[in-house]
């Protein structure tokens, strides 16, 4: 545990042979659940979940199948019902998922589980019965608290995230890198530009001058992908003028238009690839009603007509 942003760490619990996961109740830092593998025999370990009511000073253990080897890899709290928690992993060589409705005081095994070890869990922000599990056999979703599971994504998947504020936009990370779906997992596209190491072990979002997806990789490094589109201005090369540079627009499922930073109130003429004038729009909302394609912008002010147009790629 760290209380200073990660500068200094102290051990809360020495029970586990290997810890896999930890969650903290959003309303109280005294309520903590951890998961991992606890001692079973000298050569095997069991699926164990531990709960603390006092910030990690004392713990209560739950070992659902104490005679079977296993590992609790994943824990997740339902955002809409913080006392609902899911735990996932492997027991006796088979995938296992457990559900608690009292923040870990008691657990019940779900009726079914995905086809392989559960490595991470993601819960829908408004529906506690809708959960996505990442496994070496793909990503699986339940919409009924684990009664049934359906496959969303094939391959070796280590983690699945929902984009904040857009739960049907999913990002999956695994052995083949990162992929994205904008329709709840029905279709996926790769998101690997610049990702030198494709073995993705962790994904998370941060907000800092825009939305960033952070990917942690095996034997590589952490990588950041910025979800941003449009045009930004930066100083020129000493002649006092400013020039516009196109930021990467694809893939960008979250912004359906482009924005010219610093010129949101100015008007721009929009042309298609053949040079046909399509529309004139303000710089804060260019291309909102256009189909996917390549378009060119030119400032509508007469004094700027001689400037070269800027190309914009629209994908949504």
Q: What are the boundaries of each domain within the chain?
A: 18-227, 231-314
pLDDT at 223 over 50: yes
* Model confidence band, residue 200 (pLDDT cutoffs 50, 70, 90): very high
Nearest to 258, CA basis, from 278, 298, 285: 285
What pLDDT shows up at residue 257?
65
Q: Specify the higher pLDDT residue, 180 or 307.
A: 180
The percentage of the chain sitting over the pLDDT mark of 90, rounded to a whole number, equals 46
> CA-CA distance, 301 to 303, in Å (whole number)?
6
Per-residue CA distances from 299 to 76, 117, 133, 182, 236 (Å): 49, 55, 48, 32, 18
Number of neighbouring beta carbons within 10 Å of residue 278 = 15
Greatest CA separation for the chain:
81
For domain 18-227, give the CATH number: 2.130.10.10
Per-residue CA distances from 69 to 22, 108, 146, 304 (Å): 20, 18, 22, 71
Residue 194: Cβ-neighbour burial (10 angstroms; 0-12, 13-18, 19+): exposed
pLDDT at 242 over 70: no
Its CATH class, for the domain covering 231-314, is mainly beta
pLDDT at 272 over 60: yes
- Residue recorded with tokens 């516009």: 244
108 forms beta bridges with 99
* Model confidence band, residue 308 (pLDDT cutoffs 50, 70, 90): very low
What pLDDT shows up at residue 273?
66
Nearest to 310, CA basis, from 271, 255, 261: 271
Q: pLDDT tens, 98-121? A: 999 999 999 999 999 999 999 999
Question: How many whole angstroms from its chain centre is CA 191?
Answer: 12
What pLDDT shows up at residue 197?
78
Q: Which of 15-29, 73-87, 147-161, 224-238 has the lowest mean pLDDT?
A: 224-238
What pLDDT shows up at residue 271?
78
Write out the two tokens for 254: 């979250």
């Amino acid at each position: 545990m760290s209380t200073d942003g990660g500068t200094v760490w102290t051990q809360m619990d020495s029970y586990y042979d290997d810890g896999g996961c930890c969650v903290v109740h959003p309303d109280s830092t005294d309520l903590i659940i951890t998961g991992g593998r606890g001692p079973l025999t000298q050569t095997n370990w069991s699926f164990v979940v531990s709960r603390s009511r006092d910030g990690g000073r004392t713990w209560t253990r739950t070992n659902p199948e104490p005679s079977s080897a296993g590992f609790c890899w994943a824990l997740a709290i339902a955002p809409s019902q913080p006392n609902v928690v899911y735990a996932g992993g492997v027991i006796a060589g088979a995938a296992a998922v457990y559900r608690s409705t009292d923040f870990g005081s008691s657990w019940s095994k779900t009726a079914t589980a995905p086809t392989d070890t559960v490595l991470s869990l993601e819960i829908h922000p408004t529906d506690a019965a809708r959960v996505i599990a990442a496994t070496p056999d793909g990503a699986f979703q339940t919409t009924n608290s684990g009664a049934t599971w359906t496959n969303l994504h094939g391959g070796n998947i280590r983690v699945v995230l929902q984009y904040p504020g857009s739960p049907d936009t999913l990002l999956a990370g695994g052995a083949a890198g990162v992929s994205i779906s904008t329709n709840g997992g029905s279709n996926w596209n790769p998101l690997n530009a610049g990702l030198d190491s494709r073995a993705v072990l962790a994904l998370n979002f941060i907000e800092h001058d825009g939305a960033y997806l952070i990917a942690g990789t095996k034997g590589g490094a952490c990588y950041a992908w910025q979800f941003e589109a449009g045009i930004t201005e930066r100083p020129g090369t000493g002649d006092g003028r400013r020039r516009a540079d196109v930021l990467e627009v694809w893939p960008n499922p979250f912004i359906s238009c482009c924005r010219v930073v610093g010129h949101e109130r100015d008007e721009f003429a929009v042309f298609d690839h053949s040079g046909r004038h399509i529309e004139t729009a303000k710089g804060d909302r260019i291309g909102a009603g256009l189909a996917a394609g390549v378009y060119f912008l030119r400032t509508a002010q007469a004094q700027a007509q001689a400037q070269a147009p800027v190309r914009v790629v629209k994908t949504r």
